[in-house]
Amino acid sequence: MDSIALFGHANWKLNMKGQELIKPDLNPPYTRLCKEEIKPSTKLFGDDLSKHLKEMSIVKRARQQMQKATSGSAYTNKASSSKAPQSKPYD
């Protein structure tokens, strides 16, 4: 029983090492696929790769929308808070 456990652990470590070796060649948004939480099965990145990719694209779109919204509001706040020199009426 211990030998089976050792082989299982060695297999898991090899899979994690394979993910580590692939990680530098992946585009930066997809390096999150190499986390240990995503358990490899018969496939290196798990059976639900399409599900993980879809979730990542949804998160990316939401993040971009939030950045657009905050950058737009920050711009309007800067414009409204800037103090333009005020002209004084006739002294």
Whether 5 has a pLDDT exceeding 60, the answer reads yes
d(C-alpha 71, C-alpha 60), whole Å? 16
Write the burial class of residue 7 (CB in 10 Å: 0-12 exposed, 13-18 middle, 19+ buried).
exposed
**What is the reported pLDDT for 87?**
64
Q: Evaluate if pTM is beyond 0.75.
A: no
More confident residue, 18 or 75: 18
Q: What confidence tens digit (pLDDT) does each residue in 70-84 have?
A: 776 545 545 445 555
Reference 16, options 42, 49, 38, 48; nearest CA is 38
